Structure 1
Amino acid sequence: MLEKICNLARCAGNCIMKFYYSPELINISYKSDNTPVTNVDCAVNDIIKKGLILITPDIPIISEEQSCNLTSCQHWENYWLIDPLDGTKEFLKKNGEFTVNISLIKNGVPILGVVYAPFFDILYSSFYQNAWKENHSGLKKSIKVYQSEIPLLITSRSHVDEELDNYLKGIKHYKLKKLGSSLKFCLIAEGTAQVYPRFGNTHIWDTAAGHAIVVAAGGQVKTWTGKNLNYSLSSRASFINPGFCASVL
């Protein structure tokens, strides 16, 4: 099934890139929180949902681009969680830092994750405790997190995180890199970076696929109270995550 999901992510990525190189085809509107959404998000959402229904017709789907009433899905133990175009701002800026995110949640835990960066043609995937990276030439290799004496911290390129400055003051030696989308998780999983601290709001579809890959590569994703970031719907008041930190153990 993982291979089918990877192929589906690539199909979605191919659709994104057709729009990427034809900006006149892109229509932009804004959600209630003032974040942009485009017709590209919607087109890719349709591709992924149709593909998932063919692969696993009995597993329900939650997507960023399709309104879902939390009350109606709180009893779901297993479900697909997708962000068709993670990093819409980066897509519109034309910096390449956007991804297709697909994850499978089982009892609140993301057990399968696929993150595809179509601009770079790099695909990250995981299933339980195994994680891989496949580059543009088709070379696929296992990936693991990596400790460093001077850790590389990854932070959001397009979201202001006011508490981040105070957090950084408590760290003596580090390097800093700003990056868009779920690629932040993937750099930790492959051993390039060590810490992704997040204090501002994210939604469950923003994090689940990257979360799955980090954990499968030997890392962790914990809230600031020390609990594992959880995707169980039964105990949630909304789809918004608490603050968290993705890191090596």
Structure 2
Amino acid sequence: MTDQNLAAASPLPLGDPALLAALADAALKAGAVILRIRKEGIGTRYKADESPVTAADLAAEEILRAELARILPGVPVIAEEAVSQGRGETPAETFLLVDPLDGTREFVGASGEFTVNIALVTAGTPSLGVIYAPAVGKLYAGGSFASGEARAFRAARAAGVPSAPESWEPIRCRPIPDHGLVAVASRSHLDPDTQELLASLDIAERISCGSALKFGLVAEGRADIYPRLSTVCEWDVGAGHALVRAAGGSVRRPDGNPLPYGRTEAEYRVPAFIAYGAQG
């Protein structure tokens, strides 16, 4: 094995900013596979819970699992399709959450609002997160590092190209105003409880968006709040949680308590959450 290959096979320290770039590279590779399959033909079927799954979900998860095994060997990977097939790994103190294609309904419906989500969870909290929307070429990445810094970024990247973190643009949540909030909500899963909450707030503008891109809008200061009061799974939330947290915001349960992760007994289900911009 060459020195270059040895370096590629060596795990990166968890607090190293280079790890965030490596996770972004993995997402970009998965994005290229997703777009290729999208062009060739989607091939949709339905899981036991009647949610759609496509050949792109399965192929993207396969390449992500291979990439993550190379980047962080030995770290458990909790990935959506593996869990749905009964092949999920057991979480540890540190583990990875993967949604290979978040927003499958948007993908099937020919929208560009679908993403690849990768989160690194350490001590129960998402510490690094990557969200990549291959159809629109938008990358978000953020996390907390060993230096004590927390940073969040966005970049325009075509699927399959190197992540090139030296050119990423830093982003921050904006301070939440006292009135006239900008809210972002799901395009496909807007439940009655979330609608009721939004109706109770002083909302100046409401944005509808698919997939984890909603977290990106909060992280870059375009929106102040993103509530979801219906059930999702940890892999839907983890990457966005890390991103918003790194940008100066927070993601919590509606009662204000921390959002838990690694809950195998709950089948990784998250009953509800609210993502907030920067609060005083």
- Interval containing the TM-score (normalised by the shorter chain): over 0.9
Aligned to 1:159: 189
Summarize the alignment of residues 41-52 of structure 1 with structure 2, pairs less than 5 Å apart: 41-52=57-68
1:7-45 CA-to-partner distances (Å, cap 9, x unmatched) read 11100001111122222xx21111122110011100000
Equivalent-residue separation in structure 1 for 2:257 and 2:266 (angstroms):
17
Distance in 1, matches of 2:242 and 2:267, equals 21
Q: Secondary structure at the match of 2:83?
A: coil
1:131 correspondence with 2:143: no
Measured in 1, the distance between the counterparts of 2:88 and 2:29 equals 32
- Gaps of at least 5 residues in structure 1 are none
CA contact (8 A) 1:111 1:212 kept: yes
Output aligned runs, 1:85-164, within 5 Å: 85-128=101-144, 129-136=150-157, 139-147=167-175, 148=177, 149-164=179-194
Confirm whether residue 53 of structure 1 aligns to residue 53 of structure 2. no
TM-score of the pair, normalised by structure 2: 0.82
Answer with 157-166 or 133-142: which moved more.
133-142
Residue 221 (1) aligns with residue 251 (2): yes
> What SS does structure 1 have at the residue aligned with 2:81?
coil
Q: Provide Cα deviations, 1:45-97, integer angstroms capped at 9, x if missing partner.
A: 000000011111110111001027699725x1111110000000001111100
What is the match of residue 17 of structure 1?
Answer: 35
Structure-1 residue corresponding to 2:9: none
Query: 1:9 and 1:71, CA in 2 relative to 1: closer, same or farther beyond 3 A?
Result: closer
Q: Equivalent pairs: percent with the same residue?
A: 37
CA distance in 2, matches of 1:93, 1:29: 14
Amino acid at match of 1:245: I
Residues 126, 238 of structure 2: 8 Å contact kept: yes
Task: In structure 2, give the amino acid aligned to 1:224.
Answer: P
Contact 1:134–1:141 (8 Å) recurs in 2? yes
TM-aligned CA distance change 1:73 to 1:90, over 3 Å: same
User: Which residue of 1 is the match for residue 203 of structure 2?
Assistant: 173
The number of residue pairs the alignment matches comes to: 245
Match of 1:244 in 2: 273
Report if aligned partners of 1:113, 1:209 keep a CA contact under 8 Å in 2: yes
**What's the CA shift string for 1:118-148, capped at 9, x where partnerless?**
1111111112111111124874111100134
- Aligned match of 2:47 in 16, 22, 31? 31
Give the CA RMSD over aligned residues: 1.9
The 3-state SS of whatever aligns with 2:269 is coil
- Partner Cα separation in structure 1 for residue 26 and residue 210 of structure 2: 22
